[in-house]
Amino acid sequence: MSSLIKIDRYFGRKAQPLRNVPVLAPSIIAVTAGVKQLQWQGEALTFNRHNWLLAAENQPLTFINEPSQEQFQSIQISFKSLPSAVILEKLSATDLASQALLTPPSIAVDGKLNFALSQLIAMAEQPLTNAAQQYYLDGFYQQLFEAGGLSHLFAHSQLSLRQKVSRYLAIDPASNHSIENTCGRFAMSQATFMRHLSKEGTSFKELLAEVRMLNAISIMQTAHAQNEKPLTQLELAVRCGYQSESRFSQRFKAQFGISVKQYGQTIV
């Protein structure tokens, strides 16, 4: 069995300015302490405990996490499974998916949404079958649909190749992934594989780097949450699949606009 959602928790003691943070699967980001200032189509949107950020797949985010009373905390729920056909049909009938691109990716949170989210988080802690998990997911999707937020997450009725590949790479980001082996995993020729990813605005090399950079942030956050000694930059590089510390640090800075050291200093 595998979980149909992925839960990541983020913490900061100092402001965390990050740019071009990739969203590899439709996600909800709920801020529980402090605020997140998001740059969206030339506007600055503020997220706190009273609203959620609805992040569609393949939508890079540029933001600043700002602590309040010496801390910032948020939780990100990434969805690996689509809504049921019944819910997707309802969504298609409303024709809201195309309009979602023009409206801010924010939804005010009420008691019903908070309850639905708490049930979803509790579900993730249980060894449920995929079929059972899907029932919980569809309950959450239905609640989000009724609140007018589901269209921000799902503009397509099937998983993209980008999402399938990123999910596969994220199982073991440090592995020596090659495009040849990955093409075989998805039963595609290299030319077809590259063409499909290009249509989705990415490449294998770029997608692998994004998965590894997100893994670097996750490793640093997990180490802090578990009160572990922070990894050296070289140790972090190796755990993310890089043999060169300098190459890893350059890629991290190019991706997020902040160095590994600078990001680490915002957590402790």
Q: Where are the domains of the chain?
A: 160-268
> Confidence class of residue 1 from pLDDT cuts 50, 70 and 90?
low
Residue 210 host element (H or E)? helix 204-225
| CA atoms within 13 Å, Cβ hemisphere of 166 | 29
**Is residue 143 over pLDDT 60?**
yes
At 195, is the secondary structure helix, strand, or coil? helix
14 touches 266 (CB < 8 A):
yes
- The mean of the pLDDT values for the chain is 93
**Is residue 96 over pLDDT 80?**
no
* pLDDT at res. 95: 61
Amino acid at 77: I
Question: What is the average pLDDT across 120-126?
Answer: 93
Question: What is the average pLDDT across 1-18?
Answer: 93
Counting Cβ atoms within 10 Å, is residue 214 exposed (0-12), middle (13-18) or buried (19+)? buried
**Is residue 165 over pLDDT 70?**
yes
Nearby residues of 4 by Cβ (< 8 Å), 6 or more positions away = 79, 80, 81, 130, 133, 134, 137
Tell me which of 48-57, 94-103, 138-147 is least confident. 94-103
204 touches 181 (CB < 8 A):
no
- The 10s digit of each residue's pLDDT in 33-66 is 999 999 999 999 999 999 999 999 888 999 999 9
Torsion region of 58: left, alpha or beta (phi above 0 gives left; psi -120 to 50 gives alpha): left
d(Cα 28, Cα 1) in Å, to the nearest integer? 23
> Confidence class of residue 93 from pLDDT cuts 50, 70 and 90?
confident
* pLDDT at res. 57: 86
> Confidence class of residue 156 from pLDDT cuts 50, 70 and 90?
confident
State which fold the 160-268 domain adopts.
Answer: Arc Repressor Mutant, subunit A (1.10.10)
- The 10s digit of each residue's pLDDT in 22-40 is 999 999 999 999 999 999 9
